[in-house]
Amino acid sequence: MTRVARGPRIQHRRRPAAGPVRQALKRALLAAALGCLPAAARAADFRSVADDAAVLYDAPSTAANPLYVVSKDYPLEVIVNLEAWAKVRDATGTLSWIQKKDLTDEHMVLVTAPSADVHTQPDDASPVAFVAAQNVVLELVEVAPGGWLHVRLAGGTEGYVRIGLVWGA
């Protein structure tokens, strides 16, 4: 018969139950942490391409493989900031790297729907100011209530577009 060696016995002590003040504090901290998540998710950092053309790379170096060339005003979501480089996501969800010097703080949006009616007011019943075709870039003037964005066309014409028709907000 084989003997099994056993080590010293460890006694587990039960933690004393948390008092009502401690439980309330835990609940408040959890609620605050969960309440911050939606705000953090909305706080995306969108930038636009500053130059006539900019190269997107697969790594933060000009010696890396170039993936794409994007044109002026193309919106990109900044995911990671390094000293001279930014890891970005484009409208297709592709992640790549761009030199920070090629980005501007201007906030543009890209029409992703086949076409987008841009209204004179943030209301579907208001007249259509213009129709933007897919892949047209619009300047974001402000976020309007009710799922609308106040946008401006390059020529200066302004209007309101439904947020679900564009990417970059």
Distance CA 100, CA 18 (A): 50
Q: Percent of the chain, pLDDT > 90?
A: 66
Taking the C-alpha atoms of residue 73 and residue 146, their distance in angstroms, rounded to an integer, is 26
- Domain range for 97: 45-104
CATH number for the domain that contains residue 131 = 2.30.30.40
Q: Are residues 140 and 97 in the same domain?
A: no
- Summarised one tens digit per residue, pLDDT across range 122-135 is 999 999 999 999 99
Nearest Cα to 44, choosing from 82, 85, 76?
76
98 with 68, same domain: the answer is yes
* Predicted local confidence at residue 37, as pLDDT: 42
**Which one of 104, 125, 148 terminates a domain?**
104
